[in-house]
Structure 1
Amino acid sequence: MKKHVLIIGAGGVGQVAAHKCAQHNRLLGDIHIASRNIKKCLAVIDSVHEKGALQNPKGVLKAHQLDAMDTAAVRRLIEHTGAQIVINLGHAFVNMSVLQACIETGAAYLDTAIHEDPEKICETPPWYANHEWKRKAICADRGITAILGCGFDPGVVNAYAALAVHEYFDTVDSIDIIDINAGSHGKYFATNFNPEINFREFTGQVWSWQNSQWRSNKMFEIQRTDDLPVVGKQTAYLTGHDELHSLSQNLNVPNIRFWMGFGEHYINVFTVLRNIGLLSEKPVTLDNGQQVVPLQLVKAVLPDPASLAPGYIGKTCIGNLVKGHKDGQAREVFVYNVADHVEAFAEVGSQGISYTAGVPAVAAAILIAQGTWDVQKMVNVEELPYQPFINLMNQMGLTTHLREAGQDDCLISFDLAELDAS
């Protein structure tokens, strides 16, 4: 049984994770939060205390300054804190350094997004094979639990895919992951998480898994409109995304696509920024000889995603539209969650996008602490038991529902005693 948690990253998702770990600190033990900017860590800790979130009020909750790109520094902090579970919520460039530190110390590793090389955009699929999966053998050899992509998407949607494949269908023809944020932050233009990572997703090729092979499209080239639970009719665009790269390899499904909702205003601003070169990750030289990376400059002038939370209203709807056959008949189901920005802010001081990413990561940490997901190897979420994960999230604020044949209000939960008996 593992205890003591180190959270790396003090942005909006890190704040959610700190609150949720605090709410379960009798099980999880000491909570440490680390970032390059220790002031952000201290602000998160203040937020936890203001909300009275610590289940055990005398529990340890400490801040640390850390350069997560420095494997040796991460290793020293793990050893200093005694953390046996590391929740990596830093930007996507630090995954491999944090993972390596966990391998060296024996700590369990969790992240919510795929590793990215700062010098490359949209590498050749499957992306996990370029970085994380190269450490699979050493994790298995050393008994290191490493759970990749355990936010919402990737993460919860991976569990939804496994649920559909194993419980609702005999054969699955397609999985369409649909991510809609129908909320409003009131700003002229902003991104809901790290702008640098957000834009990098959309400036390269759009990879999707179609007819059991990779297909490339341009961003905003293909769209669809769906009438979804709670948020109504929404338009989403075919987008490349992390979970496609593991689901395509781990599930026998010929078509797996990811769709993200964008408003016309977002698309217009994004298009202008891209067309004039401000979304480039390559440095440019100014007249005074100083070098600047345009994408980093754009990040610097846009609102901090964590700052959007106080004024955010509306809801998100994220789920999997799955089509296939059961008992010889065609079947279609939509497995989904709806989250509320206002409710998220009231509970943890973050907006709904951060909430949907942070809660699953802590649910996974709890399952590791309990031993249920302490698998002592590297896995993606679809390879793990989804029943306890979905049940736990139902209790922690992210409920899972099923729509079929126009009926929406079917809460998905499992009798784990029956599953254990079988």
Structure 2
Amino acid sequence: MKRNVLIIGAGGVAQVVAHKCAQNNDILGDLHIASRTRAKCDAIIASVHEKNAMKQPGLFDAHAVDGMDSAAVAALIGKTGAQIVINVGSPFVNMTVLEACIQTGAAYIDTAIHEDPTKICETPPWYGNYEWKRRDACAAAGVTAILGAGFDPGMVNAFARFAVDEFMDEVTSIDIVDINAGSHGRYFSTNFDPEINFREFTGTVYSWQQGAWQENKMFEIGREWDLPVVGKQKAYMSGHDEVHSLAHHYPQADVRFWMGFGDHYINVFTVLQNLGLLSEQPVTTAEGLEVVPLKVVKAVLPDPSSLAPDYTGKTCIGDLVKGTRNGQEVEVFVYNVADHKDAYTEVGSQGISYTAGVPPVAMAMLVADGTYDLGTMVNVEQLDPKPLFTLLDNMGLPTRVKDAAGDRPWDQTQ
């Protein structure tokens, strides 16, 4: 059994991870959190104690570390005795933190594909450019690495696996739909790190259709979805992490990702992009200062964690999966609905951070008890989803299924 957790990162998702680890420290053991700025970690730990989140008395300590420095991260893993690392820092640090885990033998869990700060939207499959290159090293070292273990990617991968396994002989399409029907009351903001958020939408939109990678532009293809609780919502086909692993594991299926956007977001985004303010490449001002436009935009926008107190409404994220069983066409929607206010009341974060932060803690618990401690690198769709769903039913993210038989909890479909 593995115990003791090191959380890398101190943003909104890290706050959720910290609270959920504290709520389950009887399983996870001693807790540690690290980022470049220790004060941010101290503030998160203080919020844990303010909510009396620790299930039982135990250690929760803060540290400063440069996530881009593998040796420093490895040294911190050794110092803390952490056997599980939950990486919810910037995707820029994935490969260095993963390398530190390979060196020390700690299990590794992240929530997004690695990104090179100087590149946007590389050639598919994105995992093949980075993490999958270390798969053999993980296996040789007996290191468990669970990639993309947030919500999307993460739970949506598990939803796809569940739908295919339980309802189909053959799968023909997987459409991931992410709708935030909430409101934060600000003129304009992103729900997580603006730099990462904008990078997702300024490059080519890749989807896997007809057995090959297809290319589109952002906001080129949209459609209206009628979803549980949030109703009719417009969403646009977007590039996203999970498409790149699901296409590998279900190559016979069309795999697409759809994200909801309002007209106001699209208008502001388009102006920023057309002005060149979303570029990751440095420019020099008239005063001789070198700046990265995207980082300037990030600096002037609200910190996503500041949105939480005023956020209202709900999210609906799920997979519409189509296929055949016994020669007949079937379709099933596997999904979760989360409430922004409920998330803030429990952990002091908004619903987007909540949906991203709870699943990696559940997966850490399943690594701790051995269920997911496989000693190799996997994406979430390679894991049995049922133990994960069972945990999350009691951790605030219940899974539901809607099909021809009705809308019900996942375990009532068995």
Deviation at 1:252, TM superposition (A): 4.0
Change (3 A) 1:227 1:406: farther
Per the alignment, in what secondary structure is the counterpart of residue 184 of structure 2?
coil
Partner of 1:24: 24
Partner of 1:85: 84
Q: What amino acid maps onto 1:256 in structure 2?
A: V
Where does structure 2 lack aligned partners over 5 or more consecutive residues?
none
Partner of 1:279: 278
Per the alignment, in what secondary structure is the counterpart of residue 319 of structure 1?
strand
Identity %: 66
Deviation at 1:40, TM superposition (A): 1.1
Q: What amino acid maps onto 1:167 in structure 2?
A: E
Q: Write the distance in 1 (CA, Å) between the matches of 2:405 and 2:13.
A: 33
Query: Conserved in 2, the CA contact under 8 Å of 1:34 and 1:66?
Result: yes
Partner of 1:50: 50
Residues 11-56 of structure 1, C-alpha deviations (whole Å, 9 max, x = no match): 1100000000000101100010111111111111111001100001
Partner of 1:246: 245
Q: Write the distance in 2 (CA, Å) between the matches of 1:33 and 1:310.
A: 23
Structure 1 stretch displaced more, 325-334 or 305-314: 325-334
- 1:19-418, aligned counterparts within 5 Å? 19-56=19-56, 58-405=57-404, 407-408=406-407, 410-413=408-411
Partner of 2:4: 4
Residues 173-213 of structure 1, C-alpha deviations (whole Å, 9 max, x = no match): 11100000000000100000010000000000000000111
Q: What amino acid maps onto 1:2 in structure 2?
A: K
Deviation at 1:253, TM superposition (A): 3.4
Q: Write the distance in 2 (CA, Å) between the matches of 1:195 and 1:396.
A: 28
Q: Write the distance in 2 (CA, Å) between the matches of 1:329 and 1:300.
A: 53
Structure 1 stretch displaced more, 35-44 or 335-344: 35-44
Q: Write the distance in 2 (CA, Å) between the matches of 1:137 and 1:125.
A: 20
Q: Write the distance in 1 (CA, Å) between the matches of 2:153 and 2:335.
A: 14
Query: Conserved in 2, the CA contact under 8 Å of 1:391 and 1:414?
Result: no
Q: Write the distance in 2 (CA, Å) between the matches of 1:77 and 1:326.
A: 50
Residues 109-139 of structure 1, C-alpha deviations (whole Å, 9 max, x = no match): 0000000011111100000000000000010
Q: What amino acid maps onto 2:190 in structure 1?
A: T
Q: CA RMSD in A?
A: 1.1
Q: Write the distance in 2 (CA, Å) between the matches of 1:147 and 1:330.
A: 32
Q: What amino acid maps onto 2:12 in structure 1?
A: G
Q: Write the distance in 1 (CA, Å) between the matches of 2:123 and 2:48.
A: 41
Deviation at 1:251, TM superposition (A): 2.0
Q: What amino acid maps onto 1:413 in structure 2?
A: D
Deviation at 1:379, TM superposition (A): 0.4
Q: What amino acid maps onto 2:26 in structure 1?
A: R
Show structure 1 runs of 4+ deviating over 4 A. Answer: none
Q: What amino acid maps onto 2:10 in structure 1?
A: A
Q: Write the distance in 2 (CA, Å) between the matches of 1:328 and 1:205.
A: 36
Query: Conserved in 2, the CA contact under 8 Å of 1:387 and 1:414?
Result: no
Q: Write the distance in 2 (CA, Å) between the matches of 1:406 and 1:281.
A: 48
Q: What amino acid maps onto 2:16 in structure 1?
A: V
Deviation at 1:406, TM superposition (A): 7.7
Q: What amino acid maps onto 1:293 in structure 2?
A: V
Q: Write the distance in 1 (CA, Å) between the matches of 2:392 and 2:368.
A: 15
Per the alignment, in what secondary structure is the counterpart of residue 66 of structure 2?
coil
Residues 291-344 of structure 1, C-alpha deviations (whole Å, 9 max, x = no match): 000000000110111111010000000000011111221111110000000000
Per the alignment, in what secondary structure is the counterpart of residue 125 of structure 1?
coil
Residues 202-256 of structure 1, C-alpha deviations (whole Å, 9 max, x = no match): 0000000001110000000000101100000000000000001011111243200
Q: Write the distance in 1 (CA, Å) between the matches of 2:249 and 2:401.
A: 23
Per the alignment, in what secondary structure is the counterpart of residue 26 of structure 1?
helix
Q: What amino acid maps onto 1:50 in structure 2?
A: E
Per the alignment, in what secondary structure is the counterpart of residue 83 of structure 1?
coil
Deviation at 1:273, TM superposition (A): 0.2
Per the alignment, in what secondary structure is the counterpart of residue 166 of structure 2?
helix
Q: Write the distance in 1 (CA, Å) between the matches of 2:400 and 2:222.
A: 25
Q: Write the distance in 2 (CA, Å) between the matches of 1:406 and 1:95.
A: 42
Change (3 A) 1:406 1:192: farther
Q: Write the distance in 1 (CA, Å) between the matches of 2:136 and 2:409.
A: 38
Query: Conserved in 2, the CA contact under 8 Å of 1:21 and 1:28?
Result: yes
Q: Write the distance in 1 (CA, Å) between the matches of 2:114 and 2:139.
A: 20
Using structure 1 for the length normalisation, give the TM-score: 0.97
Per the alignment, in what secondary structure is the counterpart of residue 280 of structure 1?
coil
Change (3 A) 1:251 1:14: same
Q: Write the distance in 2 (CA, Å) between the matches of 1:186 and 1:119.
A: 33
Residues 61-96 of structure 1, C-alpha deviations (whole Å, 9 max, x = no match): 011111101111101110110000000000110000
Deviation at 1:362, TM superposition (A): 0.1
Query: Conserved in 2, the CA contact under 8 Å of 1:6 and 1:34?
Result: yes
